[in-house]
Amino acid sequence: MIKKTKIVATLGPASDDEETMERMVKAGVNVFRLNFSHGTHEYHKSNIDKIRNIEKRLNVRIGILQDICGPKIRIGALEAPFELKTGDRLDVYAKNITGAKVAPGHYTACINQPQILPLLKEGEHIYLYDGSIRAKIVEAGEEMVKAQIQNDGVLNSNKGVNFPNTALGIEIITQKDKEDMKFGAKEGVNFVAISFVQNANDVIKAKNILKELGSRASVLSKIEKFDAVENIDEIIKQSDGVMVARGDLGIEVPFYRVPTIQKLIIKKANAASKPVITATQMMLSMAEHETATRAEISDVANAVLDGTDAVMLSEESAIGKNPVAVVEAMSKTIVQTQGIYPYNKFDEFEFFDETDMVASSAASLAVRIKADAFLAITGSGKSAIKLARNRTNIDIIAIAHDEQTAHSLTLAWGVTPALVIEKTRLNILLANVVKEAFDAGFVKHDKTYLITAGYPTGLEGSTNLIRILRRDQLDYYLNAALA
């Protein structure tokens, strides 16, 4: 059985040699994530080159996801780690200071985004060290806020800070991000993940930057802020896909809400035909151990059953003990779970355009005639994704007109971006598609296929044709292509 849910793996010191990367692809990786919170452009360029080499050797398409940093809020430098106790006072300043213990139970520090301080209000919370230490604001001011520590913990320099109750309204794309996006555009990355998205305007700004850079990369919004959850519908509408980033999200909202938020986001993304990635701590124990916990295996399986397009590995593949083993375990879990997946959802979704209607009809027809696969001819990739929305247990072989479109489908559930064929007249295009698919081994004489395409050919959103390719018709198309 073909693995329908895709795997995204983060590259790092444990996995950035070409041999390991190739073994990971063979084990089930569909997309590699480049984390721009770490590494130089030279380092990422080296990994991109390795990915493209592996593509050529294995004759597969591997997506490249650039994950930019965004305005990560951090505590400033400290003279020494703070051993904070419940009830201690922490003064956070707008001015740049070195944090210090100024009296018993009294500490001072600053943050790297001082423009946030005027937005804070008495009674709101500050979460320090990625949520492990909580503090409540007891006095708010533009130059300094006073907070009372609510639980014991040790705070080190440059650790993450979250403001879960505060609408920050800050620019989410930094100057560093813009330089990184420029690099990514030059190198032809396929996806750009935007950190700390708050609303639809953030997504539009990111798309405009990429457009100015001449990039056609798909924009993925990372849902990790409370504001993003509140504005999820408008964010999904403007995004090419979303990522449920459960790490920061579990700090911004009560941890017990994360599972239901995950399911809600996946459901909404599925309905909108937007790929969705479920990320963070999926198999974290395998960063240090040979096997995953049963809870982690269940987490992956439940994400698959929720309908996620992809599951993501972070530390497990970047700095973990055995990245290949992690991918193998995740792949086996996905394939096993597919056996009980609730397929055939063509009656569950609203139709937003004619392509939705064609995709639903094609999916229903394919199930009725017991088609062995779809041949989805697509100019933008959207018709293949809309076919996938219906979640049939029928493989989708996507035939694109350019490589960026083909690579953009590496995240889409159940879609194999198999071929790239130039736009031409419909009858010639269909014949060429069948021949190329036959020569590549995707089409066989003893199978039945359902073709979807658009006329006129090559226009985005023009999918309006469904054609059945039966066993006894294959030779006709093969001969037509040779004529």
- At 317 the pLDDT is 98
Among the options 4, 6, 23, 33, which is catalytic? 33
Report the CATH number that the domain containing residue 413 is assigned in CATH. Answer: 3.40.1380.20
Q: Is 374 helix (H, G, I), strand (E, B) or coil?
A: strand
- At 1 the pLDDT is 67
Domain end, chosen from 111, 128, 162, is at: 162
- At 458 the pLDDT is 67
Q: Give the domain extent around 105.
A: 82-162
- At 2 the pLDDT is 85
Among the options 5, 10, 278, 280, which is catalytic? 280
176 is catalytic: no
- At 130 the pLDDT is 80
- At 477 the pLDDT is 81
- At 139 the pLDDT is 96
Among the options 4, 89, 222, 225, which is catalytic? 222
- At 263 the pLDDT is 98
Closest to 457 in 3D by CA, of 418, 424, 420: 424
216 is catalytic: no
Among the options 3, 26, 72, 74, which is catalytic? 74
Q: Answer left, alpha or beta for residue 137, where phi above 0 means left and psi between -120 and 50 means alpha.
A: beta
Residues 161 and 99: beta-carbon distance below 8 Å: no
Closest to 3 in 3D by CA, of 294, 447, 410, 469: 410
Same domain, 177 and 133: no
222 is catalytic: yes
Which segments of the chain have a pLDDT < 70? 1, 458, 461, 482-483
Domain end, chosen from 290, 313, 338, is at: 338
Angle at 64 between CA 61 and CA 69, to 5 degrees: 170
- At 478 the pLDDT is 83
74 is catalytic: yes
Same domain, 111 and 52: no
Q: Can you give the length of the chain in residues?
A: 483
Same domain, 58 and 176: yes
Report the CATH number that the domain containing residue 135 is assigned in CATH. Answer: 2.40.33.10
- At 482 the pLDDT is 67
The total domain count for the chain is 3
Residue type, 58: L
DSSP-H helix ranges across 108-257: 175-187, 200-212, 226-230, 232-238, 246-252
